[in-house]
Structure 1
Amino acid sequence: TYPLPEAQLDRFLMKIIVKYPTRDEERQIYKAVTGDDQVEPESTLTGEEVLELQHLVRRVPISDFLVDYTMDLIRATRRDGDDAPDFINRWVLWGAGPRGGQSLILAAKARAALYGRPEVTVEDLQAVAKAVL
């Protein structure tokens, strides 16, 4: 609800826009949280399993070509850089920093793992770029 300072924005892996619920979804929300029948969430993973999955994601390989591709994408978001398109120089105040590249690679590795692929693809990077950057 309140904008974060620029120095804090890069601490998040992704920005996910959550739209308002549909009329039916909103009705279900009202009924679920204002009634007497409170549903207790069930644990699906242990803390240890979450850590294992995090380590698994980090082990997904990414080629040097795709690391360079990531770097090109990140550097193209920076104003007045050699790689920045004209519209970036006109409309963007702060481009992505190194954390943006790290986040993009980690999100792409997670996507590759979710899809059961042995390595990151260009499609993985492109699929997560909007949410990450």
Structure 2
Amino acid sequence: MSSIMVSSNLPLPFIGATDYRLLSRLAYQALSRDFDIAAELIEKLERPCVLPDDQVPPDVVKIGSIVTCEVEDGPCRTFSLVYPDDVDAEKGRISVLTPVGVALLGLRPGQAVEWFSRDGQRNHLIVVRVEDDVKDELAL
């Protein structure tokens, strides 16, 4: 793997206003179903700078982003980060309410993240590329 800047699961530096509103609501609703993931998302949303949606840089992982990652001991993977209702494994759409989804939120190319999957396994990946997806296709 290449030289990277390691990123921890600290609060987001900035987020779009729509994502902030929807993710905050989603996180609090999820507390009763999946406390650990919801709590991680709430922690990540604690202190970001909320920007108008059109001012969030396109290379930041957000809802609707198409993310290509270099996975530890494996090939690069590409997927879209979506809300839970839009998950579709065959189309590579993963939920923001998964360990990897929460971990990736707010990262940029060159940044890396470690997270623990639901089975307790430590995972590591590096963000290689981030592209915007058509958000209209991911409507709630």
TM-score for both structures, normalised by structure 1: 0.30
Larger Rg: 1
TM-score after normalising by structure 2 = 0.29
Structure with bigger strand share is: 2
